[in-house]
Amino acid sequence: MKTPLTGIVPPMVTPLRGRDELDVAGLERLIEHILAGGVSGLFILGTTGEGPSLSYRLRKELIERTCRLVRGRVPVLVGITDTAFVESVNVACWAADAGADAVVVAPPYYLPEGQPELQEYLDHLVALLPLPLFLYNMPALTKVQFEFETVRRAMDHPRIIGVKDSGGDMAYFEQLLKLARERADWSVFVGPEHLTAEAVARGGHGGVNGGANLLPRLFVELYEAARQRDAARVTALQALVERLGRLYRIGRYSSAIIKGLKCALSLLGICDDFMAEPFHRFREPERRQVRELLIELNLLKP
């Protein structure tokens, strides 16, 4: 994999047909749909992919099938976040065996760790990983942030090659960019898609945007416009991103973003919208709202 990685790397949803069953045909359609949008990579088993909610057996199957379907056309990044250190290493080994290019880890998310503990955890983890590692800052879900000194220490490991920040704090993101100047091969990605253009304009390397499951080309074009400092183009594309953002406000709970994306993909005939428990797919009232939004966005016929 060429470093630093740049562009749009969608955090792929995991198409499911049941509690422990992949939607295999839907997975193939989804991967082809995303890659046709010109993305720079694919990130599986992240938040949008419901990674922590899936059995290890299913995670292994998803990794193997995804790498086989992608066939090296773009780098595949695999989420290994877990509360059990050994299981993170196991998933990383499966990823390496399947032909993935890198792994991604957030702080273990049950009992919050202190920063010295997190630093030691990374030291121990990277020593056993068979692939390069990206850090994943997601304090809303993990309760712990990668503080700047922890990131700076992580940069001493040549096989830790970047960070994805989903915190939404642009002052924090700016500090990550300053640290990144110390490493020419280090990538800084932003998660929240409404911040992608701003992040790239400030020097960020790209976006890991859930909406790129649905409209990959939109986010690729937004990234390119921001990189080229085409203000008029950014304004027009940002307006579409904001309209798409209404999809995430249809549901009431924290799973609404994933439910909205899966529902939309289902209505477009790409993959099933089954959710890993304890979550469930949108019921008909919400599904109707998603359908109306897709019609408004010219993605479905009335």
pLDDT tens-digit map of 197-224: 999 999 999 999 999 999 999 999 999 9
Query: Residue 125 to residues 49, 97, 163, 174: CA-CA distances in angstroms?
Result: 22, 18, 16, 27
Strand partners, 43: 11, 77
| pLDDT greater than 90 at residue 302 | no
pLDDT tens-place string over residues 75-117: 999 999 999 999 999 999 999 999 999 999 999 999 999 999 9
Give pLDDT, residue 74.
Answer: 98
Percent of the chain with pLDDT over 70: 100
| pLDDT greater than 90 at residue 183 | yes
Q: Is the dihedral of CA 9, 22, 167, 257 positive or negative?
A: positive
Residue of 181, 212, 175 whose CA lies nearest to 41: 212
82: tokens are 């877990």
| pLDDT greater than 90 at residue 55 | yes
For residues 27-31, average pLDDT: 98
Compute the distance between CA of residue 79 and CA of residue 261 in angstroms, rounded to an integer. 19
Whether pTM > 0.85 for this model: the answer is: yes
Q: Report residue 21: phi and psi, to 5°.
A: -135, 125
Of 1.10.260.40, 3.20.20.70, 3.40.50.720, 1.10.150.110, which CATH number belongs to 7-230? 3.20.20.70
State the greatest distance between any 2 C-alpha atoms of the chain, in Å, as a whole number: 56
Q: How is the chain split into domains, by residue range?
A: 7-230
Compute the distance between CA of residue 238 and CA of residue 40 in angstroms, rounded to an integer. 20
Give pLDDT, residue 175.
Answer: 95
56: tokens are 């290890």
- Residue for token pair 């991967």: 31
Mean pLDDT, all residues of the chain: 97
Q: Which helix (H) or strand (E) holds 2?
A: none
For residues 247-251, average pLDDT: 95
Alpha-helical runs (H) found in the chain: 24-35, 56-70, 85-98, 115-128, 139-142, 148-154, 170-180, 196-201, 216-227, 231-244, 256-267, 284-296
